[in-house]
Structure 1
Amino acid sequence: MHLQGHEAHEASETEVTLAVQSADPERHLRALRDWLAREDAFRGRLRLLDRPVRDGEMGGVLDVLAVSLGSGGAGALLVQALSAWLGQRGADVSVTVTAPDGREVTIDVRRTQDPLAVVREVERLTAPPRD
């Protein structure tokens, strides 16, 4: 496992994972991590996670980027940063955001044209599940 930062986080924080779908997902996942690390709100809250090594593979492959979201609008900031990042990448890249309970939403360049809809979906993911 690779760690981008390792600060203690409040128990009330939510950790979402981001998976990139593209022709070169590992390169794009690293680029996304670097992009998000520019935001003060995400410094020390990003972790690149390897998936287990499979038979015949030489080493681990980066699979997801874990993002710890605190309170204070970090979910909305994440959506804004994702929208800007995707807008610079082109139509061949999308990002799936997954909440700890397994709910997920996939964001691609076409959907960033309606950023309010994307914000609502990611905020729904970061909100506590309803009983």
Structure 2
Amino acid sequence: MSDIEQKRQYYRLKYPKRARPYVRFADEMFQVTEVSEGGIRMVLNNFTCMYKGLSMKGVLNLYGDRSIPIEGAVLRFDNDEVVLQLRKGPTFKIMVDQQRHIRQKYPSFFERLRGTAA
């Protein structure tokens, strides 16, 4: 067993503010701060009415003109963000492509994240 044990099933990709993807549910659009194969974290809009367990379907728009249909439910609220647990979302391949893009385009962002994790 390694010194560092993975506690999560899926790697969560954090996005720098200027590179955040967005998700659309019906007529509302939300900035996304983190994405994984199993969930997303997004910034709440002031006029949005959501509750824990609410089922949602929408489209996640990622770098490279990738539009991913997603389905899930509200898992929890965290300050001004909401976490959705996905039943349908991005594939592992898409997540690897997104991570590669962010690492190449924003290398200092990943260095800062690595510094806070150590």
Which is helix-richer, 1 or 2? 1
Q: Structure 1 length as normaliser, TM-score?
A: 0.28
Which is strand-richer, 1 or 2? 2
Q: Structure 2 length as normaliser, TM-score?
A: 0.31
